[in-house]
C-alpha cells in the first residue's frame, strides 16, 4: 500500500486531511514545523517528521524512508491580510517552500502532488461566480504566492514529462475553511473569522466585523465558507485519482456557489451560542476583496465535491470543538 506525505499535517486543515486518509485505510506521514500547527493534532500511529519544508534534504529523506508515493502540500503562510505587511516571509514560505517540496519529490522519485491553493488567486473578480476560467488577478502577496505555486507545478510537470517519475498534479482553490470534523482538532488561527468570533463570545467580548462599507448586500465581505471535513474529503479524492492514473484538471474550485456575508456569520454565531450581541464594526483589513464566491461544478464532477454542511452546522461543529478542548 502506498503512503502519502502531508506537509502541514499538524495544522487545522492538514490534520483533518490526515484523518480522512486514515479513515479510508490509506497510509500517511506528516511533515510540519509546528510554526502554527500542533503535535497533538497528529493522530496516534501516524509518523510525524518535524522539519521545515525549506529543508529539501529532510523532505527527501522522509519521502524515501516512508516509501512515499504522493504528496499533499498544505504547509505555508496563509494569512492574506498579514502577507501585505510580511511579503518576503510569505514568498519564502509559499514559493521557496513549494520549490523545495518539488525538488525533494524529484530527488526521491515521487510523482503525484495535490496542492493546497486558494481562491485568493482571483483577487476581486468582476463576475458573480468564479470558475476555473476566471482570470487570476491576486491582490495580496499571499494570493500571488499561491498562484506562483501553481505555476511551479505546471512548469515542473513539463520539465519532468519524460522522467521516470513525471509530476502529475492538481491544485485545489478554496477560501474560508471552517468548522470541525473531530472535536480534538480546531482552528487556532489568530486571524480567521470563526476563531475570532467564537473565542470573543466565549470570553464575553464583542466580535468584530472588519469593514461594513463594501459593495455587498449588507456592506460586509461575502465569501465561500466550506466545512473542513468536506475539504478534506476532496483532497483524498484528488490523491486517489492521481494514484489511479486519472487525468485531472490543473485546478479545481472548492466553492459553495453562493457564499455568505460576515454579518450572516455573526448572526449564526449568536444563534448557535445563545449569546445575543451586535458586532463591533472595525476598519477594513488590507488585502480583503469585497466578494469571492466560486462554483464547485468541476470538483463535483471529478472529486465528489459536495457541501455536506450548512452554515449553522459549520458554526455548531466549531463551537462544540472549542468547548471540548477547554
Cross-strand partners of 177: 226
- Residues recognised as catalytic: 142
The side-by-side arrangement of strands in the sheet containing 168-173 is 48-50, 27-32, 3-7, 68-73, 112-116, 168-173, 251-253
| DSSP β-ladder status, 176-178 and 225-227 | parallel
Q: 291 phi and psi, to 5 degrees?
A: -150, 130
Give the up-direction half-sphere exposure of residue 257: CA atoms within 13 A in the CB hemisphere.
Answer: 9
E strand or H helix at 152, and its extent? helix 141-159
DSSP 90-133: HHIIIIIHHHHHHHHHHHHT--EEEEE--GGGG-S-SSSSB-TT
CA distance 259 to 2: 37
Cross-strand partners of 282: 210
Angle, helices 56-65/97-108, rounded to nearest 10 degrees: 40
Angle, helices 193-202/311-325, rounded to nearest 10 degrees: 60
Q: How many residues does the chain have?
A: 326
Amino acid at each position: 500500500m502506498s503512503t502519502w506525505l502531508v506537509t502541514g499535517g499538524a495544522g487545522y486543515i492538514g490534520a483533518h486531511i490526515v484523518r480522512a486518509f486514515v479513515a479510508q485505510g490509506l497510509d500517511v506521514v506528516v511533515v510540519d514545523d509546528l510554526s502554527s500547527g500542533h503535535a497533538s493534532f497528529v493522530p496516534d500511529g501516524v509518523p510525524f517528521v518535524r522539519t521545515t519544508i525549506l529543508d529539501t534534504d529532510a523532505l527527501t529523506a522522509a519521502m524515501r524512508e516512508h516509501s512515499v508515493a504522493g504528496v499533499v502540500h498544505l504547509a505555508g503562510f496563509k494569512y492574506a491580510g498579514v502577507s501585505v505587511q510580511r511579503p518576503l516571509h510569505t514568498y519564502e514560505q509559499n514559493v521557496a517552500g513549494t520549490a523545495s517540496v518539488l525538488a525533494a519529490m524529484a530527488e526521491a522519485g515521487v510523482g503525484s502532488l495535490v496542492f493546497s491553493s486558494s481562491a485568493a488567486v482571483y483577487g476581486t473578480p468582476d463576475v458573480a461566480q468564479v470558475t476555473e476560467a476566471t482570470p487570476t488577478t491576486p491582490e495580496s502577496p499571499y494570493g500571488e504566492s499561491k498562484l506562483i505555486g501553481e505555476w511551479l507545478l505546471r512548469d515542473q510537470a513539463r520539465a519532468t514529462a519524460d522522467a521516470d517519475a513525471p509530476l502529475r498534479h492538481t491544485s485545489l482553490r478554496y477560501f474560508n475553511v471552517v468548522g470541525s470534523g473531530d472535536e480534538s482538532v480546531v482552528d487556532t488561527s489568530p486571524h480567521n473569522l470563526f476563531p475570532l468570533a467564537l473565542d470573543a463570545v466565549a470570553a464575553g467580548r464583542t466580535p468584530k466585523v472588519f469593514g461594513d462599507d463594501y459593495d455587498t448586500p449588507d456592506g460586509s465581505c461575502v465569501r465561500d465558507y466550506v466545512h473542513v471535513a468536506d475539504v478534506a474529503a476532496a483532497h483524498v479524492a484528488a490523491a486517489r485519482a492521481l494514484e489511479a492514473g486519472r487525468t485531472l484538471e490543473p485546478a479545481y474550485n472548492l466553492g459553495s456557489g453562493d457564499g455568505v456575508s460576515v454579518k450572516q456569520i455573526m448572526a449564526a454565531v449568536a444563534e448557535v451560542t445563545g449569546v445575543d450581541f451586535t458586532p463591533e464594526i472595525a476598519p477594513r483589513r488590507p488585502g480583503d476583496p469585497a466578494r469571492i464566491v466560486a462554483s464547485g461544478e468541476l470538483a463535483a464532477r471529478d472529486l465528489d465535491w459536495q457541501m455536506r454542511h450548512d452554515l449553522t452546522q459549520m458554526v455548531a461543529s466549531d463551537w462544540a470543538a472549542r468547548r471540548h478542548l477547554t
